[in-house]
């Protein structure tokens, strides 16, 4: 992919706009999960921070990522 190709730049911008739109519609807890994942926190650390079992976080994360992926297609 050419970083200077206008098509790639516009495509990336549209993808980011779509992602931002979906992110803004998330619950505050799901936003927190996304922020901590982006900060490379482990599932264990995120679960502790949210006060939920790690298995619950794992399931929520899977559903969250699946939902975001489906909206970005």
The first and second tokens of residue 65, run together, are 């990522």
- Main-chain dihedrals φ then ψ at residue 54, nearest 5 degrees: -60, -35
* pLDDT computed for residue 70 by the predictor: 84
Query: Residue 13 CA to chain centroid, in angstroms?
Result: 16
Confidence bin at 5 (pLDDT 50/70/90): confident
The residue ranking higher by pLDDT, 7 or 57, is: 57
How far is Cα 6 from Cα 49, in angstroms, rounded to an integer?
41
In tens, the pLDDT along 27-45 reads: 999 999 999 999 999 999 9
* pLDDT computed for residue 50 by the predictor: 96
Asked if pLDDT for residue 3 goes beyond 80, the answer is no
Other CB atoms within 10 Å distance of the CB of residue 23: 13
């Amino acid at each position: 992919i050419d970083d200077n190709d206008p098509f790639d730049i516009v495509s990336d911008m549209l993808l980011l706009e779509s992602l931002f739109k979906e992110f803004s519609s998330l619950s505050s807890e799901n936003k927190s999960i996304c922020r901590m994942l982006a900060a490379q926190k482990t599932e264990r650390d995120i679960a502790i921070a949210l006060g939920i079992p790690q298995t619950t976080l794992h399931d929520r994360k899977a559903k969250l990522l699946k939902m975001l992926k489906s909206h970005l297609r």
